[in-house]
Structure 1
Amino acid sequence: MRGRIPAAMACALTAGAATAEQVRIDLIERQVTPPPILSNMIAPPADLGAAGARLAVTDIATTGKFMGHDYALHETIVAPEAEFLPAVRAALADGARLLVVKAPPADLLALADLPEAADAVIFNSSAPDDTLRGADCRGNLLHTTPSLAMRADALSQFALKKQWTDLALVQGPNPEDAAFAEALRRSLTKFGIKVKGEKGWAFDANMRRVASAEVPLFTQDLPDHDLLLVADERGDFGRYIAYNTWVPRPLAGSEGIIPKGWSGVVEQWGAAQLQGRFRDLAGREMQTEDFGAWAAVSAIGEAVTRSKTADPAALRAYLLSDQFRLAGFLGTPLSFRHWDGQMRQPVPLVTDRAVVGLAPLEGFLHERSELDTLGQDLPGTECTRFGEMP
């Protein structure tokens, strides 16, 4: 009969719901006190990252009902002044084995090295540090946010495509700036592009008043260049460089054309629908940290559905296999590299209002996957922990 479920099917669905397999996913966030910057115009959202995980749980719940899987998201928030490991140990003792973590690298490594976490699968959803995918990698730690090397390679491909081969660089004073600047240097060398000149940002004044006077003088002695790279990962001073340089040149890096894991301006490949669902849930635009958490939870859901198990060891093996694919609304299915646990993903190159490119760009080929032209490839990896759990 139209509009009614036959009695036998209704009984089957009821029985299935009663025996649904519980799949626990833990969201662990280590809150960090933001460092002081020259301008505090834009504060990060309180639910940055967490909102992406919450959306993904609602996305995978529908499929889970039909497959006999009941997903539950457990959230643990660790305040800046609190101890991180005791909170994580409590979650592990309570049964946490699939963890989506937003935390600094030191906390991520401390968690991954816990004996209690040896059989867990941990997803780094926010830290871009290359060392986490290299010499400091861990076999139980996967990454769903692009590395610094991936972002830098995306920008190098774009510059090469535009034939902008003479570049200058302004580097900020913070450790994050130094790490991104070094990733840019390595990438540009890899693609045969020269950095003709560099300067370190040396101002701590209120640039809202003096940028138009100071920045032209600061950039006056840079050699002639096609593109000015800015390494300012905290969003501290880069906004004051735009339109104030001695010679008018496009900016890229942390300002201008920015390589990001995700942005609210991504609209193609079904992304508009994902963006709409996220806005309905969070009341704001989806950011890179949100997408990293969304991708981690969605990967868990996809792996549980395809492998028909919630066992962490079996899920890890499936996630790292050639069979795993995740529709990530970026034009190409996402997967994990078996040598360092990094998720293969396109990197949008964006401004505040539009996508100007999507790396890997056309013409950059690879024997395995064009996505492996972004970031550390297998032949040069320093990661030796994959292939077995720690």
Structure 2
Amino acid sequence: MTACATAAAALEVRIDMVERQVVPPPILSNLIAPPEDLALAGARLGLSDIAATGRFMGDDFTLTETRIAPGEDLRPAIEALLADGARLILVKAPAEDMLALADLAAAEGAVIFNVSDPSEALRGADCRANVLHTTPSLAMRTDALAQFALKKRWTRLALLQGPNPEDAAFADALRASLTKFGLSLAAEKAWAFDADMRRVASEELPAFTQDLPDHDLLLVADERGDFGRYIPYNTWVPRPVAGSEGIMPLGFSGVVENWGAAQLQTRFRDLSGREMQATDFAAWAAAAAIGEAVTRTRSADPDVLHDYLLSDGFRLAGFLGTPLSFRAWDGQMRQPIPLVTERAVVVTAPLEGFLHEFSELDTLGQDRPGTSCTAFP
């Protein structure tokens, strides 16, 4: 009787991973190229983890991988996947592609997980009810940094902003976070160098930063990793550096080891041969969330899973010290934000003393009263 009941309850769950490949933008210095399996390796580990649990229930989890080349029309590929039955879809793509996918008529009953794009608009005016976000928003990251600065009593702040759209978005989020926590910038400067900073950093940076007013912390908005690496130890006045360089607020990092994360990192390294990055973690978390929802609801129906993921009952053990969940007003996954250097975790936000009526995690990012998202009930 038990075996029959188990067999009858067995579920087949298909997960799709869709990646829009992009041509990396030109930068001033030579960098290690992003791994070719960024996000995909996290999804594969997530599938491995939930498949192991699923075997106890008789469930069968599968992962279908689709890569769309730069310049290729995304719509036909996505429509083909939806026609083939894809309903639980992890997406690594820019916001415009995310919205194009979410707005397809066939995607109305799908659950789409944004594992890479941090833009505020996707959680605000451009939010979609069928899109959940397992990558932190810019505001979550910059709020974490603002909490840290306030906790350290580093109230005199300066900002160096790069020339790229990502830099402007990060800098805007930083300004909003500083205002939110009662801080402000004493000065800011735009980065305008186009020289080879490997040769001239030690000569140019002291002069470039000499006219900054006295400050406790130098914030850097350089999301492509273009020039920020040359700022520490080359400024006119020695000060801590944070933001896109120095002390960095990230969704996850290879240096996170507490709360069982070391075991997660080991499994990831065994699978991919490299350190786990924030986008990998976001993809892992999306797959893990699907597995948890399937196990708890005993359903593979996307509508059932969507409702459960947004409910107060959903919790995911995410190796960050606090269970993860989704905000019902914009689909953003709540999570702590580690502030890290290249070799260690400095602190994890939200920091002690930053309180909230319902969840301290909601001190990071857009809270319900301020949301401009109207897609969720």
Distance, in Å, in 2 between the alignment partners of 1:17 and 1:211 is: 65
Residue deviations 1:340-360, cap 9 Å, x none? 000000000000000000000
Tell me by how many angstroms 1:21 deviates: 1.8
**Other-structure match for 1:187:** 177
Tell me by how many angstroms 1:86 deviates: 1.0
Residue deviations 1:106-132, cap 9 Å, x none? 000010001010000000001000111
Tell me by how many angstroms 1:173 deviates: 0.3
Question: Structure 2: which amino acid aligns with 1:169?
Answer: L
* Structure 1, gaps ≥5 residues long: 1-7
**Other-structure match for 1:147:** 137
**Other-structure match for 1:63:** 53
**Other-structure match for 1:318:** 308
Structure 2 SS opposite 1:188: helix
Tell me by how many angstroms 1:67 deviates: 1.7
Contact 1:366 1:372 in 2 (8 A): yes
Please list, as runs of the form range in 1=range in 2, the aligned pairs for 1:26-41 lying within 5 A after superposition: 26-41=16-31
Residue deviations 1:126-177, cap 9 Å, x none? 1000111011100100000110000000000000000000100000000000
Structure 2 SS opposite 1:385: coil
Contact 1:27 1:50 in 2 (8 A): yes
Alignment counterpart, residue 243 of structure 1, candidates 233, 241, 246: 233
Alignment counterpart, residue 79 of structure 1, candidates 69, 86, 94: 69
Distance, in Å, in 2 between the alignment partners of 1:375 and 1:384 is: 17
Residue deviations 1:151-205, cap 9 Å, x none? 0000000000000001000000000000000000000011011100000000011
**Other-structure match for 2:275:** 285
Distance, in Å, in 1 between the alignment partners of 2:30 and 2:291 is: 37
Whether 2:191 is the aligned partner of 1:201: answer yes
Tell me by how many angstroms 1:18 deviates: 8.9
Alignment counterpart, residue 80 of structure 2, candidates 87, 90, 98: 90
Distance, in Å, in 2 between the alignment partners of 1:89 and 1:143 is: 21
Whether 2:156 is the aligned partner of 1:166: answer yes
**Other-structure match for 2:221:** 231
Distance, in Å, in 2 between the alignment partners of 1:42 and 1:168 is: 29
Distance, in Å, in 1 between the alignment partners of 2:293 and 2:87 is: 14
Please list, as runs of the form range in 1=range in 2, the aligned pairs for 1:292-331 lying within 5 A after superposition: 292-331=282-321
Structure 1 SS opposite 2:285: helix
Contact 1:17 1:65 in 2 (8 A): no
Tell me by how many angstroms 1:41 deviates: 2.5
Q: Residue 168 and residue 143 in structure 1: after superposition, are their counterparts in 2 closer, same or farther (change >3 A)? A: same
Tell me by how many angstroms 1:40 deviates: 2.3
**Other-structure match for 2:98:** 108
Question: What RMSD in Å do the two structures reach over aligned CA positions?
Answer: 1.2
Structure 1 SS opposite 2:90: strand
Residue deviations 1:215-271, cap 9 Å, x none? 111111111100000000000000011111010000000000000000000000000
Contact 1:336 1:344 in 2 (8 A): yes
Question: Structure 1: which amino acid aligns with 2:59?
Answer: H
Alignment counterpart, residue 262 of structure 1, candidates 246, 252, 255: 252
Distance, in Å, in 2 between the alignment partners of 1:339 and 1:16 is: 36
**Most deviating of 347-356 and 36-45:** 36-45
Contact 2:9 2:298 in 1 (8 A): no
Question: Structure 1: which amino acid aligns with 2:259?
Answer: W
Whether 2:206 is the aligned partner of 1:216: answer yes
Structure 1 SS opposite 2:315: coil
Structure 1 SS opposite 2:214: coil
Tell me by how many angstroms 1:17 deviates: 6.0
**Other-structure match for 2:343:** 353
Runs of 4+ in 1 over 3 A off after TM superposition: 15-20
* Structure 2, gaps ≥5 residues long: none
TM-score (norm 1): 0.95
Structure 1 SS opposite 2:25: coil
Tell me by how many angstroms 1:69 deviates: 1.4
TM-score (norm 2): 0.98
Distance, in Å, in 2 between the alignment partners of 1:188 and 1:292 is: 26
